[in-house]
Amino acid sequence: MSLLLETRALSRSFGGLKAVEAVDFSLSRGEVRAVIGPNGAGKTTFVSLISGRIAPSSGSIFFTGEDVTALPAFRRVKRGIAYTFQITSIYANLTAEENVALAAHRPGTHAGRDYLARVGLADRAAQRAGTLSYGHQRLLEVAMGLALRPKLLILDEPTQGLSDSEIESFIGLVRDVARDATVLLIEHNMPVVMTLAHRITVLDRGRILAEGRPEDIRASDAVQRAYLGTG
C-alpha cells in the first residue's frame, strides 16, 4: 500500500506550550486510522496542521508524495484533504441541500442530493441547516466532507453528542466511506475506535506515545498510564 500522508518532525508551539512536538506520522491509502489520547494531547492541533488551518512551527507534511507544508488550506482541500469540524461549522441559514451543493462546488444546483442520501438526510434536503438536530448537523458535516470527493477524510470527534443508535449508523457510514477514501478519525469513544480502526495512533502531550493495531494498543501499559495516570 502506498503512503498517502506523511509528516516529518512536525511541530507546533503556542508561546511556550508545545502542542505538537516532532511528530513523524504516516498513513497508507485505504486505512482507517484513529488518533486517540487524553485531553490536551494535541490531537486537534495535529489535524489542523494537516488540513492547513494552522501553520506549523517546524517540520513538513507530504500528501500523495508532494510537499504541501507551504500550501494554504483551500489548496490542500483541492488536493484531496477534507476536514470536518470538531465544533459543527455548517451554513446555518442555508438549506441542507445548499450546504452540500457548495461543498460539491456546484452551488445553486441539486448536485448534493446523492451525498445527503448516503448519510440518511435525503428527506431533510430543504430544511434550514441551523434547525437540524445536533446529530443531523454532524451528519450534514460528513455529507459535505464526502461531497468534496476527498482522498483523505479527517473526522474530528464525529460521534460527540450523538445518541447510541446514531452512533451505530455512523459506524456503518464510515465503513462505507472507507471503501473510497482514507479516513483519519479523532475519537474519544473507545468502542467506536476499536470497531472501526485498522490502526491506532496514541498522542500524549504532543508526541506519539504508541502506534499499532487496536488489540496491541488496548493491551499497552504505557497507553493505560497516559489515560488513567496510574499503573
Partner 1 sequence: MSVRIILLHAGVILALFLMQFLASDYVVLTFTRIMVLAVYALGYNILFGYTGLLSLGHAMFFATGLYGAALGVTRFGLGVPEAMLVAIGLGIIVSTVIGAVSLRASGVAFMIVTLMFSQAAFLTVLYFGDYTRGDEGIVISDEFRRFSLFGLEADLANPVLRYNLALAFLALAVAVTLAVIRSRAGHVLVAIRENESRTAMLGYDTARYKLLAFVLSGAFAAFSGASYALMFAYAGSTLASIQYSIHPLLWTLLGGAATVLGPVLGTALMFLLVDFASGFTSASLLVVGVALILLVLFFPKGILGTLRQRYLPWLP
Q: Segment near partner 1 (CB under 8 A), from 3-11, 24-32, 61-69, 82-90?
A: 82-90
H helices within 120-184, ranges in order? 134-147, 164-177
Q: Which is nearer to partner 1, 44 or 189 (by Cβ)?
A: 44
77 touches partner 1 by CB under 8 A: yes
Given a contact cutoff of 8 angstroms between Cβ atoms, the answer to whether 35 and 184 are in contact is: yes
Subset of 192-221 contacting partner 1 (CB under 8 A): none
Q: Give the residue, chosen from 16, 39, 65, 74, that forms a contact with partner 1 under the rule CB under 8 A.
A: 74
Q: Segment near partner 1 (CB under 8 A), from 14-22, 78-86, 163-171, 180-188?
A: 78-86
148 touches partner 1 by CB under 8 A: yes
Number of residues that bind partner 1 (CB under 8 A): 24
Cα separation of 161 and 170, whole Å?
12
Given a contact cutoff of 8 angstroms between Cβ atoms, the answer to whether 177 and 150 are in contact is: no
Q: Which is nearer to partner 1, 83 or 209 (by Cβ)?
A: 83
110 touches partner 1 by CB under 8 A: no
Burial 55-94 (b: 16+ CB within 10 A, else e): ebeebebbbbeeebbebeeeebbeebbbbbbbebebbeeb
